[in-house]
Amino acid sequence: MTTTPQLTLNNGVQMPAIGLGVYQTPPAETTAAVEAALRTGYRHIDTAAVYGNEREVGEGIRRSGINLSDVFIETKVWISDFGYDATLHAFDKSANKLGVDRIDLLILHQALPSRFDLTVDAYRALEQLLADGRVRAIGVSNFMREHLDDLLAKTSVVPAVNQIELHPYFRQPDVAAADAEYGIITQAWSPIGGITFYREGTHTSTLEDPTITAIAAAHGKTPAQVLLRWGLQQGRSVIPKSTRPQRIAENFQVFDFDLTADELAAIDALDTGRRGGPEPEAVTLETFGIAIPEA
């Protein structure tokens, strides 16, 4: 079985470079997907309170028979739980649903640009959880450079990870550069371009992009494998989602080939600068503030 290469976070904690994402994985399918991934060799699962499937992630880990301590669990605090006490309680909700005492990586799911005070309070709660040993690392998601600058001016622990939309059609090199300057690992969500599948226009899917299909053919690999390899070779963490065991396995077979510098550059050149997810400024409690149930 392939052992997963690790990335070393800025506090020395090791994180498997590839993880299984479970956004839009229905709770009824989550346990089986997580179990399939762990049996394939994955040792990192990325979920979130707002995905509504933390309980099933925990169940999948237990059913796999793999020691909990060998699995890196990452989850996210939703914006409706921002605030010092609310975020401490969000940890309890997530940990109880997952069935764990400690979470490996707990991140803020979004910045709340219109309520940055609440975002900072939420992050201070993460710092407290880290100091108390309840979490092994803390981080953020969908933070732009200005959000990182603002946060770091007001808090003391540099996030270990910034999980952002990152695939060939939206690479966010400015955010990735800010992450690198601060010593933050960039973690790519939609690493094979899942969010582009629903897009209109000439390039509807990264998986059908002629540049990517040509590179895949040259290596005897699939487009999804090329996209994951592109992320890994550029030092990113990647968290592809699938509910199908065959694809879950396919997405893990990405450690036996190398893309050339020209191939990496050709994929980089596909950037359209067009975001698939919501504009960070559009994320407000009014528009996205759904409540997270108690455990």
Among residues 15, 17, 30, 46, the one that binds ligand NDP under rule CB under 6 A: 46
Among residues 92, 101, 208, 244, the one that binds ligand NDP under rule CB under 6 A: 244
CB 103 within 8 A of CB 73: yes
CB 216 within 8 A of CB 222: yes
Return the closest-CA partner of residue 137 out of 10, 258, 274: 10
Interhelix angle 84-98/54-64, rounded to 10 degrees, is 40
Residue 175, classed as helix, strand or coil, is helix
Backbone φ/ψ region at 181: left (φ over 0), alpha (ψ -120 to 50), beta: alpha
Chain position carrying tokens 């069935």: 99
Chain position carrying tokens 């629903």: 198
CB-nearer residue toward ligand NDP: 218 or 261: 218
Interaction of residue 105 with ligand NDP, rule CB under 6 A: no
Stretch that binds ligand NDP, among 62-70, 112-120, 247-255, 282-290 (CB under 6 A): 247-255
Min dist CB 79 to ligand NDP, Å, is 11
Residue 201, classed as helix, strand or coil, is coil
CB-nearer residue toward ligand NDP: 250 or 263: 250
Among residues 78, 189, 230, 252, the one that binds ligand NDP under rule CB under 6 A: 189
Among residues 4, 53, 163, 237, the one that binds ligand NDP under rule CB under 6 A: 163
Min dist CB 30 to ligand NDP, Å, is 11
CB-nearer residue toward ligand NDP: 142 or 153: 142
C-alpha–C-alpha distance, residues 39 and 41, integer Å: 5
Interaction of residue 292 with ligand NDP, rule CB under 6 A: no
Interaction of residue 161 with ligand NDP, rule CB under 6 A: no
Return the closest-CA partner of residue 172 out of 91, 271, 28, 256: 271
C-alpha–C-alpha distance, residues 61 and 64, integer Å: 5
Is the Cα dihedral 180, 181, 184, 189 positive or negative? negative
C-alpha–C-alpha distance, residues 212 and 215, integer Å: 5
**Is 51 labeled as catalytic in the residue annotation?**
yes
Interaction of residue 119 with ligand NDP, rule CB under 6 A: no
CB-nearer residue toward ligand NDP: 37 or 95: 37
Interaction of residue 160 with ligand NDP, rule CB under 6 A: no
Interaction of residue 35 with ligand NDP, rule CB under 6 A: no
Interaction of residue 252 with ligand NDP, rule CB under 6 A: no
- Tell me, by CB under 6 A, how many residues bind ligand NDP: 29
Return the closest-CA partner of residue 47 out of 80, 20, 18: 20
CB-nearer residue toward ligand NDP: 33 or 120: 33
Interacting residues toward ligand NDP by CB under 6 A = 21-23, 46, 109, 141-142, 163, 189-195, 197, 207, 222, 224, 239-244, 247, 250-251, 277
Catalytically annotated residues: 51
